[in-house]
Amino acid sequence: MTRARSALVLSLALGALALAPCLARAQQAPTVKKSAAVTAGKGQKVCRVKLKYTGQIKTWVCRKEEPCCVWHEINYVKCGSTVTGCL
């Protein structure tokens, strides 16, 4: 019984040692690559907002007459409608 228990403890310890580097890499924050600059064409505008809860900066392009719509609660951005606005 003691040998079986020792073997079990040893195998668990070796398994934990083998998984430690994988877990350390998984917990590191991913590197954020800077994306290409967003530019507006003729009749367009660039919409840019910093989301309140995540701090992430979102950038997108809409037509000049459309409003830039943002829902901070669900981290969602879109171009609105000239009729209904951001509904």
Mean of pLDDT over the chain = 77
Residues 17-47 have pLDDT tens digits of 444 454 445 455 445 455 578 888 899 999 9
**DSSP codes, 5-74:** HHHHHHHHHHHHHHHHHHHHHHHSPPPPPPPPPP---TTEEEEEEE-TTT--EEEEEEETTSPEEEEGGG
Phi, psi of 83 (to 5 degrees): -90, -50
Report yes or no on whether pTM surpasses 0.85.
no
